[in-house]
Amino acid sequence: MSRRTRWWQRALFYLPAAAVFLGVIALWEFTVHSGVLPPPSAIINALIENWSSGRWPLFIAARNTFVEAMLGLFIGSLLGVVAGAAVARWATARDAVLPIAIAANAIPIIAFAPIMNNWFGVLNPLSKAAIAAVLVFFPIFINVVRGLASVDPAAIELMRSYAVGEWTILRKVRIPVALPFFLTGLKVSTTLSLIGAIVAEYFGGSSDVIGRVVVQSASALRWDVSWAAILFGATTGILFYLAIAGAERLLIPWHASVRGDGST
């Protein structure tokens, strides 16, 4: 089994998915003629017309939303890592806190969006970032705690045979072991941060953001613009995810999730 597959083999692998995608787009284009769901060509048109001018400058809206999401991702990840590292340090704290965190993770945090809007001010982008941060916090926290705790006891014993301290064990063993867990949490969080930001925008705020554009254009019955905004949000989310997946390939090339050749 060769570790490097040729480009055309890869292309061949993605061919069915691409065919299905294009087929659905074509079917959509030629069969659907409704106001609520305009054909793809109309959506693309709206996208081009409203790129950066007019009542709904989509590119600017997407950029603003992306900044909110990024800010939320950054704050949420930072808090998740710090809290995770603190809790993982003590087994009793871990056992006490982890079940609560997992339960909290099941709460539809989005429901807090109006409250956050009140706390931080509805016009303040920080109120959107705050919702994104809360959404991001839990998966990062849970993954960091699990990662730091999933060290092979024999590896710890090996390090003890070298008579090194806890700090060195953290640096040389626990952090590298936890890194793939953290990156898994981060991948999930890219999507969550965008969801958090956009849904928070639905509840009000400055108008040049994806969430507001969707709400306002929909109430103005400009469905083509709404869909163009959604397309923008979707693309941003996918690129965001791919960026982290790419970072994963660079940071943990040795990990089973990345090497993808099934060898042990």
Partner 1 sequence: MSGPQSEQASVVRLTGVDKSFTGRGETLTTALSGIDLDIRRGEFVSLIGPSGCGKSTLLRIIGDLTQPTAGEVMVNGKPAAAARRGREYGIVFQAPVLFDWRRVDDNVRLPLELLGVGRAEREARAREMLALVELTEFARHYPYQLSGGMQQRVAIARALALEPALLLMDEPFGALDEMTRERMNSEVLRIWEKTGTTIVFVTHSIPEAVFLSSRVAVMSRRPGRITHTVEIDLPRPRGMETRENRRYFELVTEVRHQLRGGEADDDVTAGIDQIAAEDGIE
Q: Least Å distance between CB 10 and partner 1?
A: 22
Angle between helices 91-105 and 58-88 (to 10 degrees): 150
Among 118, 249, 259, 260, binds partner 1 (CB under 8 A): 259
The answer to whether residue 254 forms part of the interface with partner 1 (CB under 8 A) is yes
Q: Least Å distance between CB 162 and partner 1?
A: 5
Tell me how far apart the alpha carbons of residues 46 and 170 are, in angstroms, rounded to a whole number.
52
The answer to whether residue 149 forms part of the interface with partner 1 (CB under 8 A) is no
Among 25, 107, 158, 234, binds partner 1 (CB under 8 A): 158
Q: Least Å distance between CB 149 and partner 1?
A: 17
The answer to whether residue 161 forms part of the interface with partner 1 (CB under 8 A) is yes
* Binding track over 198-237 against partner 1, x by CB under 8 A: ----------------------------------------
Q: How far is CA 20 from the centre of its chain?
A: 25
Which lies closer to partner 1 via its Cβ, residue 44 or residue 164?
A: 164
Among 162, 167, 219, 250, binds partner 1 (CB under 8 A): 162
Positive/negative CA dihedral, 102, 133, 185, 152: negative
Which lies closer to partner 1 via its Cβ, residue 78 or residue 155?
A: 155
Among 79, 176, 191, 258, binds partner 1 (CB under 8 A): 176
Q: Least Å distance between CB 151 and partner 1?
A: 11
Tell me how far apart the alpha carbons of residues 141 and 98 are, in angstroms, rounded to a whole number.
9
User: Please, are residues 187 and 244 in contact by the beta-carbon 8 Å criterion?
Assistant: yes
Which lies closer to partner 1 via its Cβ, residue 37 or residue 164?
A: 164
Which lies closer to partner 1 via its Cβ, residue 29 or residue 152?
A: 152
The answer to whether residue 252 forms part of the interface with partner 1 (CB under 8 A) is yes
Tell me how far apart the alpha carbons of residues 78 and 137 are, in angstroms, rounded to a whole number.
8
Count of residues engaged in binding partner 1, rule: CB under 8 A = 23
Q: Least Å distance between CB 258 and partner 1?
A: 11
The answer to whether residue 152 forms part of the interface with partner 1 (CB under 8 A) is yes
Closest CA to 80 of 201, 199, 184: 184
* Positions that interact with partner 1 (CB under 8 A): 152, 154-155, 157-158, 160-164, 168, 172-173, 176, 179, 252-256, 259, 263-264
